Amino acid sequence: MLKNSEFVSKLRNSGLRPTKQRLKICEVLFNRDKTFHFTINDLAKNISKNFNEKISLATIYNTVHAFKDKGYLKEITISSDKSYFDTNITKHHHFYDEDTNLLIDCNDNEIGKVNIKNNITGKKISSVEVLVRVASDNQNQN
């Protein structure tokens, strides 16, 4: 549980002014003990539930992208109709529950290291991500 002043320095250190909107968003995103996987819509709903003052949707988009650019959030692509973000910025993989639309972090003990034997010539690997889609037994297979 970080406190407000820590968010202020975190923001200042990355060249972002610690506005009250950004601090509220920090609270929602980073004042939790578990990883938070969210869509912009999830975040917007969470904010309007937990605070009296509302933050404009444009600001939520701006802030999430700023935090992503500064490396405080990762973007996870699972579906082409909305973007997911992740407060866990370490390299890790995901289970995606197709029934609940929830992302779950994989620990290293759940998915072994991915062995990439050959890379494209002249290119550098910028990320390696495994997505394991899961569903109840009575679901369609892939």
Positions touching Zn ion (CB under 5 A) are: 86, 88, 105
Chosen from its own copies, DNA, Zn ion, none, partner binding at 56 (C-beta under 5 to 8 Å by type): DNA
Euclidean distance between the first and the last CA atom of the chain, given in angstroms as a whole number: 40
Per CB under 8 A, residues contacting its own copies are 74-75, 77-83, 95, 97-99, 104, 109-112, 114-120, 122-137, 139-142
Residue 35 lies near DNA (rule: CB under 7 A): no
Distances (CA, A) of 92 to 76, 103, 110, 124, 140: 11, 12, 10, 19, 26
Distances (CA, A) of 83 to 40, 114, 133: 7, 24, 16
Shortest Å distance, C-beta 133 to its own copies:
5
**Using the 8-state DSSP alphabet, how is residue 14 labeled?**
T
Give which of 52, 49, 42 is closest to 20, Cα–Cα. 52
Nearer to its own copies, 54 or 82 (CB): 82
Chosen from its own copies, DNA, Zn ion, none, partner binding at 88 (C-beta under 5 to 8 Å by type): Zn ion
Tokens standing for residue 42: 């999830």
Shortest Å distance, C-beta 58 to Zn ion:
26
Q: Where on the chain is the footprint of DNA (CB under 7 A)?
A: 12, 15-22, 39-41, 53-59, 61-63, 65, 80-83
